[in-house]
Structure 1
Amino acid sequence: MTKKLLSFLCIGLAILLLDIWFDSSNQDKTIILYDDEINSLIETWTAQVGRPPNNQDFQGIINQLVEEEILYREALKLNLDKDDIIIKRRLAQKIGFLKQEEQSRPPTESDLEEYFQSKEADYYLDRRISFSHLYFSKEKNGSERAVNAFKVMRDQNNLPDSDPFLVGKNFINKTSKEIDRDFGVGFSENFIYREVGVWVGPFDSIYGTHLIKISQITEAKSPDFEEVKRAVLIDYLLDKKQESMKNYIEDLKKDYEIQINPKFNYQD
């Protein structure tokens, strides 16, 4: 009886292995290239190269697409997608993008106003200054040249020659932080209580010496909702997407059991 049962098990196992073998041998070898995918590749090629692909280029594009698909399928057969951290992250990103792009109810005016009021401090507009400057490099006796240039402007009302400055001569609506970023920490203090439309200086920066003329000052203020409505809308939609993704992940977590070494002190 035992021998018969063992024989039946061996025959069954053989049939199962043959079925698996035939199934893998007869897997669909058809590769379908869809118009949308091809057109997208052609558009990408045209944008990068600056012209539409000729016939030879087109054959190369299609051949690369076919080879990529073949290698992808062969890699899947070998389970090369398993436990690959790069593939994991890419797939996680893709499902994240899909969830974030899901359509939700458009915000009403009331929604945006309420959001603005709850985050009004984030939309505070710092003092902004528009100005021009003349730069004198410290490597070319900049301090002395700046003093002489200021005298020329004061006595002769002429604009003297100066050195080129890496980020330009004219600056529009710059905050103190942005000015310090371009000229060095503390340089923005030279703009405090200065008269508009008058050349003043010289002032030293980390690069050399400067003469500056302020053309416009926009004082700091808390804006009205209408002034920043577009920015509020963008921030609102971004926050909602992030909130939706967070809730989605938290719901999924409930179906999973996390097993980890206690020494890492992980708290779900």
Structure 2
Amino acid sequence: MIRRWARDPLFHFLVAGALLFALFAWRGEEADPESRTIAVNREVQASLALQFEAMMQRPPTDAELDGLIERWLRDEVLYREALRLGLDREDAVVRRRLAKKMDALASAQAETAQPSEAELREWLAANPERFARGATISFDQLYFAEEAAARSALSRLRDNAGWERLGEPLSIPASQERASMRLVTDRYGRQFTAAVEKMEAGDNWQGPVPSGFGWHLVRLQSREQGKIPPLAEIRQRVEDDWRGATMSARTQAAYQVLRDAYRVEIAE
């Protein structure tokens, strides 16, 4: 049982969080904005030297290490003074960055994970539309800058009459005939493509669907399946896609573990 837990990414996420907490507790003087003592111990110096070596492919000279320490001290002093002034509180930017760091902890293992041949074959079989060559779709789209406007327009598209007049101006055509999935992704973005891939072809308008421009209502007219290459030819693409999806899934699963520990009260 213990060995199985040790392989679980959620286990590593929670352990990493505990280690971070322990690190701050052990180096309490650095986390305490009231402290006027800054200890540049050997661990700090070694970390600075290793970061320099990783970037420059050589160890720093004594003079360069002195410069690294001075820059580290400057950041530490300003960091403590920012804490002293309470600049970390009610700051949306700081809040979001800390949340992203927690997400990074959860997905870190997936970044270096090596899937087996069987896992890649299973992934390719489960997501053929992502790798098919020559796959095309034909669709109509209406663009809106705001999601609310798109939802409002959707209710007026039931009879499909005069649909071209409902959208807002956009530099790309309202209709796409036999567009490749690569073209759709390049033009509209991954979120748009992923949403359209899940749609059923027909006369119904669907959405709103997000893109790099804003929001769209989409009527998928037809889909033509392409040919799926052998895994050996597209192995790296399949692995990258698997890794991205795995990172996203592990991040969400780790968040859910933490989320379930809270009771949320939303005022009405």
TM tier relative to shorter chain = 0.3 to 0.5
Q: Is the radius of gyration larger for structure 1 or structure 2?
A: 1
Given the two structures, how large is their TM-score scaled by the length of structure 1? 0.45
Greater relative CO (CA pairs within 8 A, separation 6+): 2
Given the two structures, how large is their TM-score scaled by the length of structure 2? 0.45
